[in-house]
Homo-oligomer: A and B are copies of this chain.
Amino acid sequence: MNRCDFSAWELSRRARLHAALDAALPPAETYPARLHGAMRYASEGGKRLRALLVYGAGEALGLAPEQLDAPALAVELIHAFSLVHDDLPAMDNDDLRRGRATVHKAYDEGTAILVGDGLQTLAFEVLAASPQLGAEARSQMLLGLARASGSRGMTGGQQADLAAEGASLSLAELEQLHSHKTGALILACLELPLAAAPAASPDSRLALNRYGRALGLAYQIQDDVLDVTASTGTLGKTAGKDISSVKSTYVRLLGLEAAQARAETLFEEAQTALAGFDERANPLRDLTDRIRARRH
């Protein structure tokens, strides 16, 4: 795809996501209004990379966008829930997220806890209610999303991250942490669409798994690099926070240049994993380049 086609694709898929999000979130004035207002606040903004990965992978498998709206929305809701809880004072204690006040700052701590709880539940509700998916696909997606989000996935990674505060991790320990904290949900973005594509070949399953593992790790290394090289204004969250605290990062363990080089290699690996797909994977290829070039 040329750049213009990719922009049109991205705009269209983001519009689908936002329509689905608006339909799924309870109206802000419904009981209890404070919670529903805060859930909408917490769901706004963001790069929507995870949703775009779902559309990109699903379309590479020949699925229609209609079949991908529910899983795309579900992964974004899980991501939004995790950010709200991770930002809490008892966790990372962040005041700024996506360029504005975190939920516990804009509302209060109790509400922020409940916002995260409600967004998590809504992710599962959206999948369970999707009329575009058969019961078998729904059920498989629900299982995949639950495993990726739970204590053996994303939530477990956040616990490991809490435990790692002030500790020096080895590279293997850091990769284990991030393969849970961010990697599991990114991998789920690639694997959920497979539940709606039972005819997908073992090769394409394996390829998407490889792609997801490489991309997830590349993305996290890039996060550590941007924490050092970008400004708070560009990031929309506090820059330099990880490197200034006693926290293990890829930059600290590898050095800035080697970390950058490692991320580049992993982005190449991700692209190579997609080699067997036809032109329907072009949005996913272009999205990968876009992520690689991100500055926040």
Contact = CB atoms under 8 A, between A and B. Distances in A.
Nearest to A156: B32
Interface in A219-246: none
A142 B128 contact: yes
Given A31-B176, A116-B117, A118-B156, A108 B125 contact: no
Q: A interface, by DSSP: helix, strand, loop or mixed?
A: helix
Interface residues of A, number: 54
B121 A155 contact: yes
Contacts of A34: 159, 163
A19 interface: no
Nearest to A38: B159
B117 A85 contact: yes
Interface string A180-199: 10000000000000000000
A32 B122 contact: no
B32 A163 contact: yes
A274 interface: no
Top 7 nearest A-B pairs (CB, nearest first) are A118-B151, A121-B150, A125-B146, A90-B109, A128-B143, A135-B135, A35-B159
